[in-house]
Amino acid sequence: QEELVESGGGLVRPGGSLKLSCQGSGPMFSISAMAWFRQAPGNQREMVAAITNYGSTIRYADAVKGRFTISRDNAKKLMFLQMNSLEPEDTAVYYCASDRYWNNILEARPNNWGQGTQVTVSS
């Protein structure tokens, strides 16, 4: 129901940084949980980071903990993923997702998905 559009992907050298943005729309944004997922060729989709509607609860995958930061600006219907100390293993298509219910996010079955943005970490 919610349209989500990612931006900010690109090519970056190992150790570099990127900031992804997700632009939402509609009245459900501010009361929906949101998350970033990623999928690399030959790998399963995995959750990278998730955040509740007011940001009171945040979760990160172990692989990105301490390097990535998820945040949101409900007034502007925006969600962000700041990625620092990037590694080649972070190369993947990154997807923005949302759902009215937190459990759907945690179970990796959100109702709303963006189109994805490519992140490539290479020297």
What does the pLDDT read at residue 1? 67
Tokens of 70: 């998820």
Are 40 and 72 within 8 A, CB to CB?
no
Q: H helices of the chain, where?
A: 102-106
Cα 109 from Cα 87, distance rounded (Å): 27
pLDDT tens, the chain, 123 aa long: 689 999 999 999 999 999 999 999 988 999 999 999 999 999 999 999 999 999 999 999 999 999 999 999 999 999 999 999 999 999 999 999 999 999 999 999 999 999 999 999 999
What does the pLDDT read at residue 2? 82
What does the pLDDT read at residue 26? 85
Cα 22 from Cα 32, distance rounded (Å): 13
Q: In which element (H, E) is residue 67 found?
A: none
